[in-house]
Amino acid sequence: MTFLEIRLIDLIDIVLVAWLLYWLYKLIKGTVAVNIFIGIFAFILFWLMIKALNMQLSGAILDNLVNVGVIAIIIVFQPEIRRFLLLLGSKYNIGNRFSVDSLFVSSSPGMLSFQIKPLVSTCEELSRSKTGALIVITRRSELLDYVETGELINAVISKTLLKSIFFKNSPLHDGAVIINQSKIKAAGCILPVSQNMDLPKNVGLRHRAAMGITESTDAVSIVVSEETGRMSFFVGGKGYYNLSTEELEKKVVESMANIK
Ligand SMILES: Nc1ncnc2c1ncn2[C@@H]1O[C@H](COP(=O)(O)OP(=O)(O)OP(=O)(O)O)[C@@H](O)[C@H]1O
């Protein structure tokens, strides 16, 4: 029976499609796009069934819908497609690995371990004084697009500098600080805001921006809430709220150790 003949290439094909669907689902999980995705998935299943049953009229109508549908999907999923490509780009950042800069500058991504303690202890102090802060630590991707939205600083990490940036009357306290290769690269940076609907109801734009940057890049971020003084950590579009100083330090150390 030729109907059940399965070649190796068919298995590879199935695994590839499953992998793509898994990634797409992971990317849009928790956003309104997941409902559209399920709708499209159901439509494709229905279309394949019509084709298998060789129903001419319904098949012809659905064929036309599918042709237009591809363009419609690109328009509807534009932010998700953009996010997916950005994520791919930042994970396999070939440009950074082979840049001329990397020959001269220490190219160790993330943060050096001895600089994590002062950073975390700054967060603890900001938390005690209920000073709002948003700090992004880059990993593979340098986030230059976002660095450009703020003021370039390029200074060694120091408690005094971080505290004066987030001091309420400082012109740089609005927006995010970006730490890149163990340096405070920029302050006052504007980040993409997450559309995730699973975020706690009481958090606002600072937390959404902290989550947003970790959804579209491989960076991690820390928030100190101005309202409650609570410290939170974000990685891969996931948030860990109300952390103690030790828990926050552990999260940062782990995320720097796991740079792929
Ligand atoms: N897109 C963004 N990129 C960077 N920073 C942002 C962005 N949106 C808001 N912020 C920062 O968040 C601040 C507003 O925080 P908001 O009170 O809305 O958030 P929150 O999550 O409730 O934080 P908090 O608990 O500190 O009040 C702004 O003053 C600004 O500094």
How buried is 31 (Cβ within 10 angstroms: 0-12 exposed, 13-18 middle, 19+ buried)? buried
Tell me which residue has its CA closest to atom 28 in ligand 1.
174
In the chain, which ranges are continuous DSSP H helix? 8-28, 33-52, 56-76, 78-91, 94-97, 101-104, 113-128, 144-147, 159-166, 205-216, 245-257
Tens-digit pLDDT string for the chain (260 aa): 455 678 888 899 999 989 988 877 776 666 656 777 788 888 888 988 998 898 889 888 888 888 888 888 888 777 777 767 766 665 555 444 444 444 444 455 567 777 888 999 999 999 999 999 999 999 888 888 889 899 999 999 999 999 999 998 888 889 999 998 889 999 999 999 998 888 888 889 999 999 999 988 889 999 999 999 999 999 998 999 999 999 999 999 999 887 76
Residues 114 and 63 in one domain: no
ipTM more than 0.85? yes
Task: Report the separation in Å between the CA atom of 129 and the middle of ligand 1, taken as the mean of its atom positions.
Answer: 17
Residue in 206, 228, 231 to alter for ligand 1 test, most ligand atoms within 8 A of Cβ: 206
210: how many CB neighbours lie within 10 A of its CB? 27
User: Which residue matches tokens 């299943």?
Assistant: 45
Distance in angstroms (rounded) separating the CA atoms of residues 136 and 112:
15
- Determine the structural domain holding residue 61 and report its residue range: 8-76
Residues 203 and 125 in one domain: yes
Task: Report the separation in Å between the CA atom of 11 and the middle of ligand 1, taken as the mean of its atom positions.
Answer: 47
Q: Indicate the number of domains in the chain.
A: 2
Residues 63 and 126 in one domain: no
Task: Report the separation in Å between the CA atom of 151 and the middle of ligand 1, taken as the mean of its atom positions.
Answer: 17
Question: Is 141 within 8 Å of 221 (Cβ atoms)?
Answer: no
| Closest to 37 in 3D by CA, of 81, 85, 89 | 81
Task: Name the residue type at position 93.
Answer: N
Tell me which residue has its CA closest to atom 25 in ligand 1.
225
200 lines ligand 1 (CB under 6 A): no
Q: What is the pTM of this model?
A: 0.69
| Closest to 147 in 3D by CA, of 156, 137, 133, 132 | 137
Residue 93 falls inside a structural domain: no
Pairing of strands 133-137, 176-180: parallel
Residues 253 and 147 in one domain: yes
Task: Report the separation in Å between the CA atom of 81 and the middle of ligand 1, taken as the mean of its atom positions.
Answer: 26
Could you tell me how far CA 131 lies from the centroid of its own chain?
A: 25
Task: Report the separation in Å between the CA atom of 127 and the middle of ligand 1, taken as the mean of its atom positions.
Answer: 15
210 lines ligand 1 (CB under 6 A): no
227 lines ligand 1 (CB under 6 A): yes
Total residues belonging to the chain? 260
- Of 53, 76, 99, the last residue of a domain is 76
DSSP string, 61-94: HHHHHHHHHHHHHHHHTHHHHHHHHHHHHHHT-H
Residues 252 and 199 in one domain: yes
